Amino acid sequence: MRKQATVVAADEWLDQIIHKSPAFQAQVEEELAAINVAQDLVALRESRGLSQAQLAGRLGITQSAIAQLESAQPKNVELRTLVRVATALGAHVDVSIRRRHPGERKSRQRAGFEAKKPVTVRPAARGDRRA
């Protein structure tokens, strides 16, 4: 008699792999944070009706530098760079560091990674000139 294959949902499989390796878990969370920041920057730029070239012109940098920031692959991006970009888009950067609760990673996976992000780029409120 043939052994039947076990079917496991992708999110369960990934959860099992991540749970077995704290180093891999840290790497996944770091990549997800970078992706979230990049997606926030793209959405904010597009909501302002700006192209990458137009935003680059406002900042005095190249369009390819903006593309790299938005790719979620830049290395060693400084916080001040994110603040400059956010300010040019009429937004500000909030950074929070907080203790992770035991079930937080699982809830983020189940919710489509919509849990609190380590860095959020938000439009600045009217009259709010913080950077």
**Two tokens at 82?**
């994110």
- Contacting residues for 131 by C-beta, under 8 A, at least 6 apart: 83, 86, 87, 92, 93
Tens place of pLDDT for every residue, the chain, 131 residues? Answer: 677 767 778 888 888 888 888 888 888 888 888 899 999 999 999 999 999 999 999 999 999 999 999 998 877 788 899 999 999 999 999 988 888 776 665 444 433 444 344 455 666 655 554 43
- Prediction pTM value: 0.63
Question: DSSP state, 119?
Answer: E
Question: Could you give all domains of the chain from N- to C-terminal order, each with its CATH number?
Answer: 21-123 (1.10.260.40)
- Contacting residues for 114 by C-beta, under 8 A, at least 6 apart: 108
Q: φ, ψ for residue 93 (rounded to 5)?
A: -105, 130
Task: Determine contact, residues 127/92, Cβ cutoff 8 Å.
Answer: no
